[in-house]
Amino acid sequence: MMTIQNGLNGQLRVASDKSITHRAIILGAMAVGKTHIMQPLLSDDIRQTIHGVQQLGVDVVITEHNDIIIDSLGIADIQKRQFDEPIVFNFGNSGTTTRLMIGLLAGLGIPAVITGDASLSRRPMNRIVDLLTGYGADITTTDGHLPVTIRGGIMTDVINETLKVPSAQIKTSLLLAGLSAGVPVIVFDDFQTRNHTENMLPSFGVTVDCQGGMIFVSGDQRLTATTVSVPADMSSAAFWLVGATLQPGSDIVLQDVNVNETRSGIVKVLRRMGASITLLNERVQNGEPIADVRVVSVSQLIGTTVQGEEVTTMIDELPILTLALARADGDSRVMDAGELRVKESDRISTVSETLVAYGADVKPTPDGFLITGVSRLQAPAESLSDHGDHRIAMLQSIAQLLTSNDAPIADQAAIAVSYPDFKRDMEVLMHA
């Protein structure tokens, strides 16, 4: 049981970046030598990726300091291993692991069957499988979902694709397929999705040519082991950005946050609404811009519209941003966010359900929300389901703080997917 009286205060480093940790593990497995991943996220999803590359015969160790050491002989060594039977992977709840590993396995041509939990099994997999089969891979889904069966790898001289949906996972999956198969990859990304893979590849010795929305990687490049330092995750920081903005008396500093423009849309939108957010000590690390982020509470936010390309820069942050919009003065709208319907839950439905229970005026639309701001929220009359979705669970926890609700914090099992220390960090900021 926790309540908040005097705002959120102090400084901390939120959970490390999930997207970057996933990519560092897979690229480390593909590289020759020992890759050292410093300050990785060690969440449930990340452990699925670790286990996945271990099943390919790659040595992965978590040190006593919670770093990750990957010792690999590279792509060629993995390819020449004798896998007498298809490898059976169970990736739990991790959609990132699944989609990236499908690309890697298709490039390597390793037979596999991929499964996951009930939530993951509802998420679409044909968006990447259909592309890879177009390049000769023998892959089938189960009505567009898991289980996915890989019988043979890609058979093509080049991968040349224009993204049809705004998904950095699809883009990365294609890049991994090409690199592991030794064929060039050209991807046109007009959506400007997350570019962590393109930023990280040069650290592994891979030349990447990025021009506007075009990414080109030649297929004859060997990855070399390196050291990757993982910044803090904007998706995790977002909960405190909104919490500190809305809770009177708050003044916090979040350290080492990834402020990559493809990920930091929530900062731009909150500032537009009147939030006090300052970037301090800006620097570049492994190709990623990072900063310490100071947030000071404000008396009132102004409603706004979020749509178009802006949505892709904050798709995972939209649930908690919607809480801010619900407390802002005037009408707001979120559009072009249909991707929310195929996350760990249908987040358009679950966010609306959650916030209405807290007294907000939020109406779901096919691709987002219609919101009329209210001056205050109230504790729900009954306990709410988090639908097994980590971001819904954290949204409910922040809403509880803002209503000084004495209900227990949301289910930690769901939150552990991306932010295992969420409860601890909440206590730090409440009691600083």
Q: Mind listing the pLDDT tens digit for each residue in 314-350? A: 999 999 999 999 999 999 999 999 999 999 999 999 9
Catalogue all structural domains in the chain, each as residue range(s) with its CATH number: 9-15+231-430 (3.65.10.10), 18-229 (3.65.10.10)
Confidence of residue 193 (pLDDT cuts 50, 70, 90): very high
Residue 316 known to be catalytic: yes
Is the confidence at residue 2, as pLDDT, over 90? no
299 phi/psi in degrees, rounded to 5: -75, -25
Compute the average pLDDT of residues 158-162: 98
CA 386, 391, 397, 402 dihedral sign is negative
300: which 2 tokens?
A: 């009132």
Pick 363 or 405 by higher pLDDT. Answer: 363
Which residues contact residue 200 at a Cβ distance below 8 angstroms, ignoring those fewer than 6 apart?
20, 23, 24, 27, 228, 286, 287
Please list the alpha-helical segments (H only) found in 190-317: 196-200, 234-246, 265-272, 309-312
Compute the average pLDDT of residues 213-233: 97
Q: CA separation (Å) from 172 to 169, 175, 265?
A: 5, 5, 21
371 phi/psi in degrees, rounded to 5: -135, 135
Q: Mind listing the pLDDT tens digit for each residue in 40-67? A: 999 999 999 999 999 999 999 999 999 9
Q: Which residue has the tokens 């990855």?
A: 223
Question: Could you say which of 45, 316, 389, 425 is catalytic?
Answer: 316
Q: Mind listing the pLDDT tens digit for each residue in 240-279? A: 999 999 999 999 999 999 999 999 999 999 999 999 999 9
CB 33 within 8 A of CB 72: yes
One-character DSSP codes across 333-347 = EE-S-GGGGGSSS-H
Residue 407 has a pLDDT of 47
Q: How far apart are CA 16 and CA 419, in angstroms?
A: 8
Q: Which residue has the tokens 């160790």?
A: 61
Residue 83 has a pLDDT of 84
Task: Kindly give the pairing relationship between strand 112-115 and strand 87-90.
Answer: parallel
Confidence of residue 165 (pLDDT cuts 50, 70, 90): very high
Q: How far apart are CA 79 and CA 56, in angstroms?
A: 9
Compute the average pLDDT of residues 224-248: 97
Mean pLDDT for the chain overall: 95
Residues 104, 109, 112, 118, Cα dihedral to 10°: 40
Residue 4 has a pLDDT of 55
Residue 241 has a pLDDT of 98
DSSP letter, residue 120: H
- Work out the angle between the directed axes of helices 126-133 and 95-108 (0-180°, nearest 10): 10
pTM for the model stands at 0.95
Which residues contact residue 76 at a Cβ distance below 8 angstroms, ignoring those fewer than 6 apart?
none
Lowest mean pLDDT: which of 202-216, 242-256, 257-271, 375-389? 375-389
Q: Mind listing the pLDDT tens digit for each residue in 306-318? A: 999 999 999 999 9
- The b/e string for 239-255 (b: 16+ C-beta within 10 A; e otherwise) is bbbbbbbbbeebbbbbb
